[in-house]
Structure 1
Amino acid sequence: MAEISVALAASHAPGLTGWFGKAPEEDRRTVRAAYGAIRDAIVNSRTDVLLIIGNDHVANARVSDYADFSFGIADRHTGPDEWFKPWLRVDDYDLPGAPEVGRTLHDSVQATGLRTRAVRDNLRFDDNISVPVAMADLTSTSVALVPVLQNCTVPPVPKERACYAFGEALGAAIRTQLPGDLRVGLLGSGGLSHEPGGPRYLEIDEKFDRWWLDLLVEGDHSRILAEATFERMEEAGSGGTAELLSWLVVMGAIGQRPCTSLGYVAVEEWRCGVGAVQWQL
């Protein structure tokens, strides 16, 4: 059986790269340390293939034909997409893909009933993939990438329990359908509280963010699913906070266990609460 080698999650706000210098130095140190720990965890776990699960900002499909989960199965993954370069301000990157892994996992989760697709062409990446690639310096590692972009905004959105169940199916597929010597890492990319372009654009719900992180550290998945609902995420920042559904996919894949917080900051200039965690496998 293949093994889940590492399980992580982190925020991916464009301010982390485009406006990084606007934050106080202490907050910048916290974020550098968190993403440094993510890179170390990926390298030290000898991960072969990294699945980055992040939301699609309606950049890869029409809203009238919008998949719940899109698996990138290109031979190589390049970014950031040209349109997003001016505000992301990250170097161009080129990472090897793992198309057979992506295809196998896509085909194996069909019983969930969610709308999925496997995309052979290079997907358009904005901060969802570009920020973790840049901040964790993934181009300097030997890890291959399978991006999994999910719908967090176009109704009907798969909510917390559907995303957790999708993660359970994904974890089972990793363990039973992939080659036995493969080490597969998981990184949920998105959140924390923010409301892009909305009336609360400059607001961060720090109380929600710290409550969410405390729940994850406790590790009670039943309580998380009961209390940290899609609706509660929307209350903390409509159209943005629900990116945390990607973290729930990772949680479903690994099963109930506690995690370690890698840090949290609330920087108004970044327009987003920023945090990261690593689960104890």
Structure 2
Amino acid sequence: MAEISVAMAASHAPGLTGWFDKAPEADKRTVRAAYAEIRDALVESRTDVLLIIANDHIANSKVSDYPDFTFGMAERHRGPDEWFKPWLRVPDYEIPGRPDVADVLYQSVKDLAPRVRAVPENLRYDDNISVPVTMAEVASTGIAVVPLLQNCTVPPVPDERVCYSLGQAIGDAVRDRLPDGLRVGLLGSGGLSHEPGGPRYLEIDEKFDRWWLDLLVDGDHERVLSEATFEAMERAGSGGTAELLSWIVVMGAIGPRPCRNLGYAAVDQWRCGFGAVRWELP
């Protein structure tokens, strides 16, 4: 059977690349160190395939026909999409895909949410995939990527328990349906608190962010699901903070366990709280 080699999550705010220099040096060091550890963990864990769970910013589907989860099935993943280049300011990248792995995972979860799709062509990637791929230098590792883009904004949004259940199914599929010896890494991409385009666009809810990170460090997943609900995320920043549902997918795949906080920064100029964690696997 295959194995989950590493499980992590991190913010993907466009400010981390497009407006990185606006932050104090100490905060820049925090972000660099967190993403450096993510890259090192991928290499040291001998990960073959990295499943990146991230939100879609309404770039790949119409609002009137919006999937809850979209698996990227392309042979090669290329980004960033042209429209997002001016404000992301990241170099072009091209990363191998694993459509065979993506198809197994898709088939395993396609009936667990109302709208799950698999897309054979290259998806439009903005900061959701481009920031973690760039900051963790994934292209230089040779690790293949399977993108899983999720709906965090268009009602009805799959809530925390739907996302956790989907993560459980992904974990089962990795262990029971993928080839023996394959090592699959998990990375939740999104959050922390932010409200893009809303009245609190320039605000970061640092109290919520630190509470969320402390919850995850404790490792009590039932408490996370009971208290860190979609509604609680919306109160911390409507239309943005719920990107943390991608972290909950990872949590479902690995089961209750503590994690380590890799660092936190609240930089107003980035328009989003930054945080990263790594879960302790056996």
Q: Tell me the TM-score normalised to structure 2 length.
A: 0.99
Please say if 1:273 is aligned against 2:262. no
Distance 2:84 2:111 in 1: 35
Distance, in Å, in 2 between the alignment partners of 1:20 and 1:181 is 39
Give me the whole-angstrom Cα distance separating, in 1, the residues matched to 2:68 and 2:113: 10
AA matched with 1:194: H
User: Could you say what the CA RMSD is over the residues aligned between the two structures, in angstroms?
Assistant: 0.6
Q: Deviations over 1:2-45 (max 9, x none)?
A: 00000000000000000000000000000000000000001100
Deviations 1:63-103 (A, max 9, x none): 11111100001000000000000000000000000000001
Write the deviation string for residues 98-128 of structure 1: whole angstroms up to 9, x where unpaired. Answer: 0000011101113414311111000000000
One-letter amino acid matched to 1:59: A
Alignment of 1:40-189 (within 5 A): 40-189=40-189
Structure 1 CA distance, aligned partners of 2:132 and 2:247? Answer: 14
Q: Per the alignment, do residues 157 and 26 of structure 1 end up closer, same or farther by CA in structure 2, a change over 3 Å counting?
A: same
Q: How many residues align?
A: 281
Gaps of 5+ in 2: none
User: What is the CA–CA distance in structure 1 between the aligned matches of 2:253 and 2:246, rounded to whole Å?
Assistant: 11
1:63 and 1:280 map into 2 onto residues whose CA distance is 38
Aligned-partner SS, 1:134: helix
Matched, 1:13 2:37: no
How big is each residue's C-alpha offset from its partner over 1:212-234, in whole Å with a ceiling of 9 and x where there is no partner? 00000000000000000000000
- CA–CA distance in 2 between the matches of 1:33 and 1:113? 36
- SS of 2:175's partner is helix
Letter in structure 1 aligned against 2:245 = L
For residues 128 and 191 of structure 1, what CA distance do their matches in structure 2 show? Answer: 10
Distance in 2, matches of 1:160 and 1:227, equals 10
Query: 2:68 touches 2:113 (CA, 8 Å); kept in 1?
Result: no
TM-superposed CA distance for 1:263, in Å, is 0.1
Matched residue SS, 1:112:
coil
Structure 1 CA distance, aligned partners of 2:74 and 2:247? Answer: 24
* Cα distance change, pair 92–232 in 1 and its aligned pair in 2 (3 A): same
Distance in 1, matches of 2:248 and 2:17, equals: 25
Identity across aligned pairs (percent)? 74
The C-alpha deviation readout for 1:225-276, integer Å capped at 9, x for no partner, is 0000000000000000000000000000000000000000000000000000
The verdict on how the C-alpha distance between 1:142 and 1:107 changes in structure 2, with shifts beyond 3 A counting, is same
Which amino acid in structure 2 is aligned with residue 28 of structure 1? K
- 1:15 corresponds to which letter in structure 2? G
Report the AA paired with residue 82 of structure 1: E
Tell me what 2:262 maps to: 262
2:233 aligned partner: 233
**8 Å CA contact retained: 2:113, 2:158:** no
* Alignment gaps of 5+ in structure 1: none
TM-score (norm 1): 0.99
Paired with 1:140 and 1:149, the residues of 2 have a C-alpha distance of: 23
For 2:180, the aligned partner's letter is: G
Output the CA distance in 1 between the equivalents of 2:108 and 2:271. Answer: 37
Hey, what's the Cα distance between the residues in 2 that align with 1:229 and 1:151? 15
Contact 2:172-2:253 at 8 Å conserved across structures: yes
Q: Give structure 1 regions of 4+ aligned residues with deviation exceeding 6 angstroms.
A: none
Q: Which residue of 2 aligns with 1:218?
A: 218
Aligned letter for 1:11? S
* Aligned AA (2:209): D
Q: What amino acid does structure 1 have at the position aligned with 2:165?
A: A
Q: What secondary structure does 2:167 align onto?
A: helix
Q: Distance in 1 between matches of 2:114 and 2:206?
A: 32
Is the partner of 1:273 in helix, strand or coil?
strand
Q: Which amino acid aligns with 1:198?
A: G
